[in-house]
Amino acid sequence: MGYETKHTPCRRILQKRTDFNNVKRRRLHEADELSEFDVMDSSNLSTISHDDIENCPEVSITVFAENTPKTSTSTQYDENDLVVHNDHSYAQPWADIKSSYTQTNETMTAEKGVQITIEGGTMSANANILTDSDSLLYTGVNKQVFFTLVETMAEFNTFSFKMKLSDQIMLVLMRLKLHLIFDDLSRRFGISTSLACKIFNTWIPVLADKLKGLVAWLPRETIRACCPESFKENYHKTTCIIDCAETFIQRPTNLKSRCETFSNYKSHNTAKYLVGISPHGQIMFISKAFGGRASDKFIVEKSGFLNYLLPGDEIMVDRGFTIDDLLFPLRVKLNIPAFTKCKPQLSARDLTSTRRIARVRIHVERAIRRLKMFKILSSIVAVSSLKLFDDMLLVCSALVNLRGDLIRERLVYLNVYIIVAKLKYLMKLLYLTNFCIKLLLLVLGLLPTCTCTWEPQ
């Protein structure tokens, strides 16, 4: 039609496919030429006599043979490329007989599967936990508590692991306390990485189920009997002190989960949980983990904390817990620091009450700090470990309660301090009373006036 064929810019012009039959024919012809030799005609051999062969001069022939690659007409690949070369150590054929360099001992049973023991691992509970400081370093509890826990868990050891029970419990607690990776734990205990992971994932639900009795809500009479002196003066009816804590987690790939776990307070994806302690410092309540986006009020309402409260109780909280509407139907009093909303500053009364609350509410922060001494709660938790996070949280809370008292008061020094404070208060009161009496007598004229001269400096 007279139109010129135009090519699309920035595109490669496709060439015609080469005739592969011609290529094969040419390569075969070249191979035949290399393999041709001068062959004597067999018909002429009959005309040569024996005397002619003997009188023929000796001729030395040197044959140069060229090692041409063998080619296949179907694949066109060099057949030498398909030969397996054993020029590296990793290419040597595997043998059934173990050499002296074998570092593992494998044992196959019908129930246990393959469990590998590495000769380099030398760590064990009996060899490494010798003092209380060693036990606190590796497990978070003292030596006596650790071995008592091992004896208690012996009756629930229904698993087919080859390791000693004390070493299994130590491995689990080291993972919680030090947040060691499974590769490190496997080298310390001389086992495979998969076995270390399996031991941890197997024991955590069992420990959480058996130790949940250590995180119990105490009766009101017990709380009042163990109330410290710092609470008895102003907040002797306090039942529980609550606060929320957060643990960093990896950013989820799911956009909805990423949004629900992002915390504006921490500027990171977190898991948020509620911690409640008694006035003497024991953890009485630990909630399940919520997303970092959840508010304090939402967690208090959905965690089941309100089911433990009785009429007449008092709860001490921080400013973020605006839960008056939730506690009013239960007839529970809320002790919360005063707000400066619509006020330039706090009044003297509000300032005094805020200082008194802050002085005793700090104990819940100390309990959370003791809880986060288990590094798995103060580090970034992997998304794959979140399915066991509630059990890990419960186990860590139970281990915190197995430690010593959070609030240690020396009654002798405390009583002396209280007596001295009361004496100072009485002296100030007497001084003010004496000053008021003198001022009253001076006004009535019953006391002679004293002449005072004042000279400017």
* Domain range enclosing 305: 216-401
Residue 149's pLDDT is 94
Burial label for 256, CB within 10 Å (0-12, 13-18, 19+), is: exposed
Residue 302 sits in a domain whose CATH number is 3.30.420.10
Distance CA 214, CA 366 (A): 19
In a domain, 430, yes or no: no
Of 184, 213, 242, the one marking the end of a domain is: 213
Closest CA to 388 of 304, 289, 300: 289
Cα gap 3→445, rounded to integer Å:
129
Domain-embedded: residue 118: yes
By DSSP bridging, strand 238-248 and strand 314-316 are: parallel
Q: Same domain, yes or no, for 224 and 187?
A: no
**181 in a structural domain:** yes
Between 352 and 9, where is the model more confident? 352
Q: Is residue 288 part of a domain?
A: yes
Domain C-terminal end among 160, 187, 213: 213
Percent of the chain residues topping a pLDDT of 70: 64
Confidence of residue 110 (pLDDT cuts 50, 70, 90): very low
Please tell me whether residues 271 and 149 are part of one structural domain: no
- pLDDT for 238 equals 92
Which one of 358, 375, 401 terminates a domain? 401
CA atoms of 222 and 417, how far apart (whole Å): 26
Residues 290 and 361 in one domain: yes
> In this structure, are 174 and 246 located in the same domain?
no
Furthest CA-CA distance within the chain:
176
Mean pLDDT of the chain: 77
Q: CA–CA separation, 35 vs 65, rounded Å?
A: 10
In this structure, is residue 296 part of a structural domain?
A: yes
Q: What is the rounded distance in angstroms from the CA atom of residue 289 to the CA atom of residue 245?
A: 10
255 and 138 fall within a common domain: no
pLDDT of amino acid 129? 93
Backbone angles phi, psi at 268, to 5 degrees: -160, 160
Per the structure, the count of domains in the chain is 2
Given pLDDT bands bounded at 50, 70 and 90, which one contains residue 152? very high
Whole-prediction pTM: 0.64
- How confident is the model over 339-363, as pLDDT tens digits? 877 778 888 888 888 888 888 899 9
State the Cα–Cα distance between residues 429 and 427, nearest whole angstrom.
Answer: 5
Long-range Cβ contacts of 379-382 (<8 Å, 24+ apart): 379/179, 379/248, 380/248, 380/249, 380/250, 381/247, 381/248, 381/249, 381/250, 381/271, 382/249, 382/250
pLDDT in tens, 21-69: 666 677 766 766 655 544 444 445 444 455 554 555 554 444 444 444 4
CA distance linking residue 397 with residue 297, whole number of Å: 22
**Quick one: pLDDT at residue 379?**
94
* Helix pair angle (193-211, 182-189), 10° resolution: 100
My answer on whether 203 and 225 are in the same domain is no
Give domain status of residue 30, yes or no: no
Domain identity same for 258 and 121: no
pLDDT for 253: 92
Q: Give the pLDDT of residue 432.
A: 65
Q: Taking a C-beta distance cutoff of 8 angstroms, is the pair 274, 256 a contact? A: no
pLDDT for residue 27: 73
208-223: pLDDT as tens digits: 999 999 999 999 999 9
Asked whether residue 279 falls in the same domain as residue 384, the answer is: yes
Q: Are residues 227 and 339 in the same domain?
A: yes
**Which 3-state string (H, E, C) describes the chain?**
CCCCCCCCCCCCCCCCCCCHHHHHHHHHHHHHHHCCCCCCCHHHHHHCCHHHHHCCCCCCCCCCCCCCCCECCCCCCEHHHHCCCCCCHHHCCCCCCCCCCCCEEEEEECCCEEEEEECCCCCCHHHHCCCHHHHHHHCCCCHHHHHHHHHHHHHHCCCCCCCCHHHHHHHHHHHHHHCCCHHHHHHHHCECHHHHHHHHHHHHHHHHHHHHHHCCCCCHHHHHHCCCHHHHCCCCCEEEEEEEEEEEECCCCCHHHHHHHEECCCCEEEEEEEEEECCCCCEEEECCCEECCCCHHHHHHHCCHHHHCCCCCEEECCCCCCCHHHHCCCCCEEECCCCCCCCCCCCHHHHHHHHHHHHHHHHHHHHHHHHCCCHHHHCCECHHHHHHHHHHHHHHHHHHHCCCCCCCCCHHHHHHHHHHHHHHHHHHHHHHHHHHHHHHHHHHCCCCCCCCCCCCC
Closest C-alpha to 336, from 361, 311, 313, 312: 361
Sign of CA dihedral 213, 215, 221, 225: positive
Give the pLDDT confidence score for residue 451 in this predicted structure: 45
Which pLDDT tens digit goes with each residue over 300-335? 999 999 999 999 999 999 988 989 999 999 999 999
Whether residues 347 and 296 share a domain: the answer is yes
pLDDT of 164 above 70: yes
Do residues 182 and 188 make contact, with C-beta atoms less than 8 angstroms apart?
no
**In this predicted structure, what is the pLDDT of residue 52?**
52
Q: Long-range contacts for 106-109 (Cβ within 8 Å, ≥24 apart)?
A: 107/162
Residue (of 248, 273, 269, 240) closest to 363 by Cα position: 240
Q: Is residue 273 part of a domain?
A: yes
Residues 353 and 291 reside in one and the same domain:
yes
Q: Is residue 436 part of a domain?
A: no
